[in-house]
Amino acid sequence: MIEPLINAILLALHNLALVGCAAAPFYNRNLVLMRAQYGPKLHFELDKVVEDTLQGNAPWCLAFLAILWITGIGMPLNHLVFQGALKVLHPIGMTAMLLKLACVCAMMVIMGMIFFRINPRLRALFAAFSPGVAPAPEREREFFSLRARRKALCETCLKFAIGVLICSAFIGFHG
């Protein structure tokens, strides 16, 4: 009775984290596409909202990934504790699990590049901008170049997130 209850709780948290990992890049992508309508010229108030939103999502992304890892490790450990052995997966389930892990690891690498390299530089550049004052052209170019890089990485992250969702459906495959 306790093992299935713990597994159900872990699975529910795992599924919530999966949705969060997919929703963040999806909604970030939509925001970036809407902002792109205004072109690569600084619109201070609009760009402040975009940066605050995108950079404010970083802790959520990290939290979702942490929950994904903890629950992903917790489910087999739960089975091990109560059954004395790891659960044997069908080859399709094992392949799906390995692909899912690869996608999650790729997302972590991408998020690390965004959160620890690109976002700090964007924050520093944006801090030098002021409302109503035209930015220096080279800083504005760098700002939008970094945003384009972040957008491309987020697009890739979204593809990996979709891969995680698809692979998750096949882990429990029994043949």
Centre a 10 Å sphere on the Cβ of residue 122 and count the other Cβ atoms it contains. Answer: 22
- pLDDT at position 147: 96
DSSP 173: -
- pLDDT at position 102: 96
**In tens digits, what is the pLDDT along the chain, a chain of 175 residues?**
899 999 999 999 999 998 998 888 888 889 999 999 999 999 999 999 999 999 998 889 889 999 999 999 999 999 999 999 999 999 999 999 999 999 999 999 999 999 999 999 999 999 999 999 999 999 999 999 999 999 999 899 999 999 999 999 999 888 7
- pLDDT at position 22: 85
Question: Which has the closest alpha carbon to 92: 40, 4, 170?
Answer: 170
Q: Alpha-carbon distance 9 to 12, whole Å?
A: 5
Into how many domains does the chain fold?
1
* Residue 44: domain span: 2-171
Both tokens of 2, joined, read 């306790």
Q: Alpha-carbon distance 47 to 56, whole Å?
A: 14
